[in-house]
Structure 1
Amino acid sequence: MENKPWLSHYPEEIPKTLQLEEKPVHAYLTKAAEIYSDKIAIHFMGKELTYKEVYESSVKLASYLRTLGIKKGDKVAIMLPNGPQSVISYFGVLYAGGVVVQTNPLYTERELAYQMEDSEAKAIITLDILFPRVTKIMGKTSINDIIVTAVKDYLPFPKNIVYPFIQKKQTGMVVKIEHSGHQHLLKRIIAETPAEDPQADPEFDFENDLALLQYTGGTTGFPKGVMLTHKNLVANATMCDAWIYKAKKGEEVVLGLLPFFHVYGMTAVLILSIMQGYKMVLLPKFDAETTLKTIQKQRPTLFPGAPTIYIGLLNHPDIKKYDLSSIDSCISGSAPLPIDVQERFEEVTGGKLVEGYGLTESSPVTHANFVWDKKRVKGSIGVPWPDTDSAIFSLETGEILPPGEIGEIAVKGPQVMKGYWNRPEETEQVLKNGWLFTGDLGYMDEEGYFYVVDRKKDMIIAGGYNIYPREVEEVLYEHPDIQEAVVAGIPDPYRGETVKAYIVLKENANVTESDLNAFTRKHLAAYKIPRIYEFRKELPKTAVGKILRRTLIDEERKKQQDQEEIG
């Protein structure tokens, strides 16, 4: 206890340690199909599928994959937005004994070719409009088969008739694919393949068998394949269930807006929902108005999200016209949650919004604030989840630091990855004596609550001072006219680096650089104040809404290089 002061804050409903069922991720769908056979598992743009239908479609796909030669341990890529197909494909690959490689549908040919080559994927499941992109990279990879689906395949009438015309207007593309050779149509597979119960794998190893190769965002160098086992994913989803202890098995409705190709959406929406018999309301992309309408109509109770999603909803001009009162609890991940956003969202919905923390390498969640009843510390990422240990290590000595001192956050627990795919040296750099070193700087207070100060690589050193972007961003978010803000250190010939703020203003706001300068001076020491402001209509983000600070820094470096060449 003395090394884990946070355990004294656990409500009695949250166990300090968990009993994990040593079975594969897909076994939970088998179980859900038995218990909740006719219950709705998925709602997608008016179309609904029961647990029985999702299960049968998944095992049909698994049977078909085996006829293509997919065997235990083979990698199969899934390049889909959220929809029934992404759920069926995920479990179909696992039932076949394969390892899922989640792929962002927005990837360029270059990014896709790199990931497919690195992962050694033998097949890919994708959308018809992405088919041309995939065919162009096949020769550079191990991919032998492409399984294709279309959004219209899982739309209700008459949307399924109208959608192809909308798609053609938006993309200018009409893609026709034959179900022959190495090209396969998911719709035909589901219609024509018998639903055979998959045989249990007698050699199944809960601890070591991979379920997923999840690629990191590549904000620092090339993306790395994070090896996540069945144990990693089952453990993290079980922890999530324990944390939201008021959630009722078989009754909750989860808003599935976080993409499943992001590990947080996959764990906190997909696996958790299947494990607990929840109904998933899936949306293929974030649009504030569509999301507000969906919340009002479908009445979701759980809403895992990212700060930019909550910000986008709060800044919709008509938000007060919608009834959002069904929302009971939200855990925000992927980026720091501004305090102002947390308070406003709770006021609008009447539900609870708390900040959590994690990373791809930990499946992903390691810390969160308590959702109900107990102390919630604003600005803190909360405390470690059950069976999870965390400590702050000194960057100088490598020793564990006492409360209040800033160092690198490290975590330990059953959700921590097996390692990086084919990268033993990089694995050794982050996995040391059972600890996963996160690359984030932070501290723990006397009560065991953790705080992220910033990414180790994002810390700005200006004129010898250490400046943490998050601290400056928190101040900027307090300004009533700022919608989004990100701070970065850009090269400066005199100070080494200087602080630059990139700002997105709310609609009709009229704020100048001098206004923001005066505002920040009231709250920050002089050396922390941004020296440069750039106003933008939008900021570069990942698919899950995480602002890409590194992209902005790279833009600045290129600008400076271009100017030097001209000069």
Structure 2
Amino acid sequence: MKSLRARLAADPAIGTGNVLATVIAHGADLNGPGLTFDTPVDHYPAEHALTLGELDERVQARTAWLHEHGIGRRDVVAIWATEAQDIVLSFLALTRVGAIPALMNGKMSPPIAEEFIRRLRATGVLADAAHRELLHEAPILAEPRELGTADPAKAPENYRHHADDPVVITHTSGTTGVPKAVMHTHTTLYAALKHLLTMPQAQGTNRILNALPIPHTATVLMVNQVLGNRADMLLLSSQDAPNVLHHIERWKPHSVYGFAVTWAGLAREDLTSHDLDSVRMWFNTGDCAHEPHIRKLVAVGTRETVTRDGRVTVKGSHFIDGLGSSEMGHNGFHITHTIDSDHYGRCIGKPYEFAEAAVLTQTGEELPAGKPGLLGFRSPSVSPGYWNDSVNTYRFRLNGWFLTGDLAYRDDSGHYFHLDRIPDAVAGFDGPQLFTSLSEERILAALPEVLDCTVIITPANGQYVADVLLELAPNAADEDRSDAVKAAVGEEVAAIIRKVSVIGSDEVPVTVTGKVRKVALRETRLTGAEV
């Protein structure tokens, strides 16, 4: 008899909108793992490991509430909350009635949240107590926890999704203003997971600490992945480094999933003073991670390896890096680092087997190895587009490729290297090649006392100038680092550096997912302001 994972992979009807119900229909043990949340779920206490049956019953209660209140097929319902259980359980219930949940980061500013909801043309909003007070025009349905008061026995039959049905809307980080609403269908957001079900389960993925932003596409993927793998997962409502460390020591995960901002936060800590031996793997998505942060993480934890004496456990963990986005639907690239790795320089590895990539000119021709250009991506996991925004949907398509918004190059071995985000660089195909992200990577690698840094490039009097902002370790010497920074970044960027400043960790504007808002920093420079 086929394993459960094999049966799920072969099921043509499975997708993002019905994984929980399909796993149960294929005979998964109802007493097996469901999900674990860091806050109470109805009458269950925080960190109670919900069984699959308990999870299903709590989702059915919410499904019944939605049905009783007239929410059904194609209704767009925004969810604005902080707690992981509010977002995830509401998402699972809304898909069961055929509605389209739109997940919103709790850190979004109220004016932007109102505008985001308006652009969705939402039927209603599920907002927790703290957030509903901030909304003045949006149509409030209820607080998410109210949905758990309904009778699960009154839940309607599960909606049957077509492959092309829209099942979730998430959003971009909003580095340039109101985030774009990224739509995924029943099949796009499950395409990568279906491929992974046909492969051996990766080391460490049987017990996962989810430190990804809860309203992000990545968390939707992880919920469906662990349900299919029948694995344990604790979802954190806050991804701050101290909170992540606290839960690693208490809950003993075998892998931790997160964004680059979390790894940067962990790298600021003395990791040797914490018990991190349970961690076999760190998995990064979103922006690729910086080498110094990766090296600090792979130096702790443990991993299994095969020797002449058989499988043994050794000191040091794996770090799987890559590049992903809400639009890509899953990390598009992957590379594995250990304590012995030397393949850095913002290498994001090779595309997954289910995907293709290319470096393109502005007219869509593929560039040869070594030539920097626009990163194009093609995969069944790519979002069909932005909700209610056909202009941006088609702007990011070129010659059959989805444009990720990144600049990259490929080497002769097929590895891809990330250079910068397009809005942050000055990189004409025939002009100067000035990259901010690559410059930051080089500074961090060359100056170990720098915990994090930001480089911005702005126009000035018909030319360009670069400003470098350094966050230093507490014990770093008080000295001028301009020469060391210029030596690290390379001749082209060094020639335009105007100022090297030391700043505090809270002095750089960031998005709701922790990305630096370089657009805002450039605007302050253009108006003569300082950070």
TM-score, length of structure 1 as denominator length = 0.80
Alignment partners' CA distance in 1, 2:338 and 2:290: 19
Identical-pair percentage: 21
Alignment partners' CA distance in 1, 2:240 and 2:409: 36
Q: Deviations 1:194-238 (Å, cap 9, x if unpaired)?
A: 335642445x321x1111122222323543222211111111333
Verify the 8 A CA contact 1:260 1:270 in the aligned structure 2.
no
C-alpha distance 536-243 of structure 1, shift in aligned 2 (>3 A): farther
C-alpha distance 314-525 of structure 1, shift in aligned 2 (>3 A): closer
Secondary structure of the residue aligned to 2:288 is: coil
Secondary structure of the residue aligned to 1:81 is: coil
User: Given the alignment, which residue of 127, 136, 149 partners 1:191?
Assistant: 149
Alignment of structure 1 residues 206-285 onto 2, 5 Å = 206=163, 208-220=164-176, 222-239=178-195, 245-247=201-203, 252-267=206-221, 269-285=222-238
Q: Deviations 1:367-413 (Å, cap 9, x if unpaired)?
A: 11147899983231111112211111112x43111111111111111
User: Given the alignment, which residue of 156, 162, 178 partners 1:205?
Assistant: 162
Alignment partners' CA distance in 2, 1:525 and 1:388: 33
Q: 2:283 maps to which residue?
A: 331
Alignment partners' CA distance in 1, 2:116 and 2:482: 43
Q: Deviations 1:447-472 (Å, cap 9, x if unpaired)?
A: 21111111222113699632111221
What residue identity is the alignment partner of 2:143?
V
Which has the higher mean CA deviation after the structures are superposed, 274-283 or 364-373? 364-373
Unaligned runs of 5+ in 1: 1-14, 150-185, 563-567
Alignment of structure 1 residues 139-150 onto 2, 5 Å = 143=139, 145-149=140-144
Secondary structure of the residue aligned to 1:238 is: helix
Secondary structure of the residue aligned to 2:500 is: strand
Alignment partners' CA distance in 2, 1:129 and 1:216: 23
Verify the 8 A CA contact 2:96 2:158 in the aligned structure 1.
no
2:324 is aligned with 1:358:
yes
C-alpha distance 542-255 of structure 1, shift in aligned 2 (>3 A): farther
Q: 1:178 maps to which residue?
A: none
Q: 2:311 maps to which residue?
A: none
Verify the 8 A CA contact 1:81 1:259 in the aligned structure 2.
no
Unaligned runs of 5+ in 2: 1-5, 40-45, 302-315
User: Given the alignment, which residue of 308, 318, 333 partners 1:367?
Assistant: 333
C-alpha distance 468-261 of structure 1, shift in aligned 2 (>3 A): same
C-alpha distance 240-367 of structure 1, shift in aligned 2 (>3 A): farther
Alignment partners' CA distance in 2, 1:543 and 1:254: 23
CA RMSD of aligned residues (A): 2.8
C-alpha distance 287-359 of structure 1, shift in aligned 2 (>3 A): closer
Verify the 8 A CA contact 1:461 1:497 in the aligned structure 2.
no
Verify the 8 A CA contact 2:87 2:215 in the aligned structure 1.
no
Secondary structure of the residue aligned to 2:528 is: helix
Q: 2:470 maps to which residue?
A: 503
C-alpha distance 266-535 of structure 1, shift in aligned 2 (>3 A): farther
C-alpha distance 240-518 of structure 1, shift in aligned 2 (>3 A): farther
Verify the 8 A CA contact 1:57 1:195 in the aligned structure 2.
no
Alignment partners' CA distance in 1, 2:380 and 2:193: 11
Secondary structure of the residue aligned to 1:382 is: strand
TM-score, length of structure 2 as denominator length = 0.85
2:289 is aligned with 1:296:
no
2:514 is aligned with 1:553:
no
Secondary structure of the residue aligned to 2:515 is: coil
What residue identity is the alignment partner of 1:482?
V
Q: 1:490 maps to which residue?
A: 458
Alignment partners' CA distance in 1, 2:340 and 2:96: 40
Q: 2:309 maps to which residue?
A: none
